[in-house]
Amino acid sequence: MPRAGLDRTAVIARAALILDERTSEGLNLAVLAQSLGVKPPSLYKHIEGMPGLRRGIMLLAKQDLARVLRHAAIGRSRDTAIGALALAYRRWALEHPGQYPMTMQAPVSGDDEDARESSAIADVVFDVLTGYGLGEDDAVDATRFLRSSLHGFVDLETSGAFELPVDLERSFAKLTQSIVISLANWAD
């Protein structure tokens, strides 16, 4: 009989927190079970081993990132939307260093749920880009540009690669400003 209050959602949520806290050590079922006060075999009542757990965390992370980005963009357009989106993206990645890399994974072929959660992130960006008059191929190109720029900065920041004495906030503001200028001139 499963422990009261313990279900798939609770197991995945706890695992996601542990992954963020123990980024360098990684996540395993023994640590997860101990944090939940159960034996490792009990977890199999809720998840399909490590592959099922990782998939669950990935879906949760993509869903949460899409929610945060959507909230940041609501009521904003063009430059202010990009600025808010960029800040929210970076903040989420810094708060979730273990989950963040999972949001970068392309949807697994045939996994409709993964495709839906991945599309939710892209849809927020596409919606913001309509303010720049970008559609179809230009919107895809601009989304790739935006994603590459933000991911590059965040990836370098979270891996400790930025050690020069210039303020990171200043550098990120310059990056965001460069993105805005590029998008404003994209169709030229």
d(Cα 15, Cα 20) in Å, to the nearest integer?
Answer: 9
Residues 171 and 127 in one domain: yes
Q: 16-30, 108-122, 125-139, 165-179: which has the minimum mean pLDDT?
A: 16-30
CATH number of the domain residue 148 falls in? 1.10.357.10
pTM of the predicted model as reported, rounded to 2 decimal places: 0.89
Number of folded domains that form the chain:
2
Spatial distance between the Cα atoms of 146 and 89, rounded to a whole number of angstroms: 11
Per-residue pLDDT at 24: 66
In sign, the C-alpha dihedral spanning 29, 32, 37, 42 is: negative
User: Tokens 């063009």 appear where?
Assistant: 78
Considering only CA atoms, which of 87, 94, 79, 186 is closest in space to residue 143? Answer: 186
* Terminal CA-CA length for the chain: 64
Of all residues in the chain, the percent with pLDDT exceeding 70 is 96
Whether residue 20 is found in the same domain as residue 106: no
Per this entry, what is the length of the chain?
188
Q: Is the pLDDT of residue 92 over 90?
A: yes
Distance CA 145, CA 186 (A): 11
Judgement on whether residues 16 and 73 belong to the same structural domain of the protein:
no
Question: What is the rounded CA–CA span in Å between residue 93 and residue 110?
Answer: 27
Provide the pLDDT for residue 120: 95
My answer on whether 89 and 39 are in the same domain is no
In this structure, the answer to whether residues 145 and 102 fall within a common structural domain is yes
Whether 100 is in a domain gets the answer yes
Q: Are 82 and 180 in contact (CB under 8 A)?
A: yes
